[in-house]
Amino acid sequence: MSQEKLAQALGLTFQQVQKYERGTNRVGSSRLYELSKILDVPIQFFFDEMPAEIAATARGGNGGSGFSEAAADYEPDTLAKRETLELVRAYYRIKSPRVRKKVFDLAKTLGRAEDAD
């Protein structure tokens, strides 16, 4: 999606979207929610590659929020991860049903091999 189309969907100007991208303007939670809906991705998509030390602080690891124990027990849904979404999209871009089936079988076989180790 182009920045122009994204800006239009958000009701913003192209320049405002560029400011978000460069980090000049902060992206608030409601705007992030809007972006996830427009781009058809879960909100977690934007946080998958967050450095561990920042994630720990954001979860209250510095003792501030009182929610740190619950956050430490939280395991994110693998179906909501960016990697999963990209994998599924790449899989469905394979035109040949036969090739797609072979990729599927390969992934299952590799997954079973990992379980056996």
Per residue in 26-74, pLDDT (tens digit) is: 888 888 889 888 888 888 777 777 666 666 665 554 444 444 444 455 5
Q: Is residue 28 included in any domain, yes or no?
A: no
Q: Is residue 104 included in any domain, yes or no?
A: yes
Q: Is residue 15 included in any domain, yes or no?
A: no
Q: Which domain holds residue 94?
A: 81-117
Dihedral, CA atoms, 65, 25, 83, 1, nearest 10 degrees? 150
Q: Is residue 53 included in any domain, yes or no?
A: no
Q: Is residue 27 included in any domain, yes or no?
A: no
Average pLDDT over residues 74-92: 75
* pTM tops 0.75: no
8 Å CB contact between 21 and 49: no
Q: How many domains does the chain have?
A: 1
Q: Is residue 89 included in any domain, yes or no?
A: yes
